[in-house]
Amino acid sequence: MKFDIERDYLALDFDGVVANSVLECLVAANNAYSEYSGGRKTYDLSELDPALIAEFTRLRNFIRAGADFVYIVKSISENMIIGNQQEFDDYTKKYKDLQADFFDLFYRERELFSTSMPDIWIGLNPLYEGMKGFLDNYPYKDRLFIITTKKIFFVKKILLYHNIQLNQDNLFTANGKKTKKDIILRLVQKYNIYPHQFWFIDDQVDTLLKVKDTRIQCLLAEWGYNEKQQINRGNKEKISVITLKDFRNMFG
């Protein structure tokens, strides 16, 4: 089915679709874990071990919630070998008693980082190629949404820095109490549209599988935080995988 820009509704995840926040998450998570473990904090990326950066980037593909970023640093510090989503999920479950603490530490550190060193923080949250132009020039912003697990406070900071004007009422944070599926179903009902008129792009195949039964149009962003096994799973479940070039051709 082809996207009809004059009729259809488009929703984007933020991290992994609009912005690449992996390095900012690394710094915030490393400092959060340092506070927990008594280590040394740093906001200078050059002071971090390249091996830590590479492994954190690889494991970023398995993130489900904010606390997971700190679990990644913990697993790396313990020299754990995690090869897939199930192994990562098993690891976080093993230490589930740390979840609340890790969540609070991560978001407290992220807020401190973004307010005390905004230029450095923004620099570690670059937009993907062409995304600013797309958001600036999209002609039907009343039918354009951001649906993300990222706190809207941080989304707004990034959009403001890039001088991107979006409808503030169209920015949604999903969480355990209000999932992305809940938000999408509410929007389909609110605008009284057919499900196939609503298009959602996310970089996490598990998220798309959870909303697939709503019969909306689900697309997996290949340029985001995923790996071959996850992309293959998306293909197997008949979820279309698109590149940034595909995205610009379909929605630009």
User: Residue 51's pLDDT is what?
Assistant: 95
| Nearest of 98, 104, 135, 134 to residue 28 by alpha carbon | 104
As a whole number of angstroms, the distance between CA 76 and CA 54 comes to 11
Q: Which pTM value belongs to this model?
A: 0.92
Q: Give the model confidence (pLDDT) of 20-54 as tens digits.
A: 999 999 999 999 999 999 999 999 999 999 999 99
Phi-psi region of 82 (alpha: psi -120 to 50; beta: other; left: phi over 0): beta
Could you identify the residue written with the tokens 């390095």?
Answer: 23
Per CATH, the homologous superfamily of domain 9-20+126-251 is HAD superfamily/HAD-like (3.40.50.1000)
Q: Give the model confidence (pLDDT) of 199-233 as tens digits.
A: 999 999 999 999 999 999 999 999 999 999 999 99
Estimate the crossing angle of helix 67-77 against helix 22-37, to 10 degrees.
Answer: 70
Dihedral (CA of 105, 106, 111, 112) sign: positive
Q: Give the model confidence (pLDDT) of 76-91 as tens digits.
A: 999 999 999 999 999 9
Domain boundaries, the chain: 9-20+126-251, 22-123
User: Residue 176's pLDDT is what?
Assistant: 79
As a whole number of angstroms, the distance between CA 136 and CA 154 comes to 19
User: Residue 96's pLDDT is what?
Assistant: 95
As a whole number of angstroms, the distance between CA 24 and CA 121 comes to 6
